[in-house]
Amino acid sequence: SQLITDGDVFPGNVINNRLLSRLGIILTTDIEKTEALLSEFIPFARHKLLFVNIQKIGLQICTAFNPSCVNCSLSEICDYYNGKNYWAI
């Protein structure tokens, strides 16, 4: 289990990158770039809250293989589900 605390940098990982890129929020697979980008826009007191909730969705619904898009409350705005951006290629 990874210990996450609110700090100066949004903690990134593969699961969060997958979800954020499928939603169209980020366009990179580079975890360090994601950390820098989100750290700039997410208030540091919210890093843990956002990280934990993105992590839950990524592990339970937006899995790497066979994501359960029909059960996802974010499917209306999801680029992956709606075939937008590079997912449409």
Angle of helix 14-23 relative to helix 47-60, nearest 10 degrees, comes to: 80
pLDDT tens per residue across span 5-44: 555 677 888 999 999 999 998 888 899 998 888 888 887 7
Note the pTM of the prediction, 2 decimals: 0.81
What confidence tier does 61 reach under pLDDT thresholds 50, 70, 90? very high
The 3-state DSSP class for residue 76 equals: helix
Helix (DSSP H) and strand (DSSP E) numbers for the chain: 3, 0
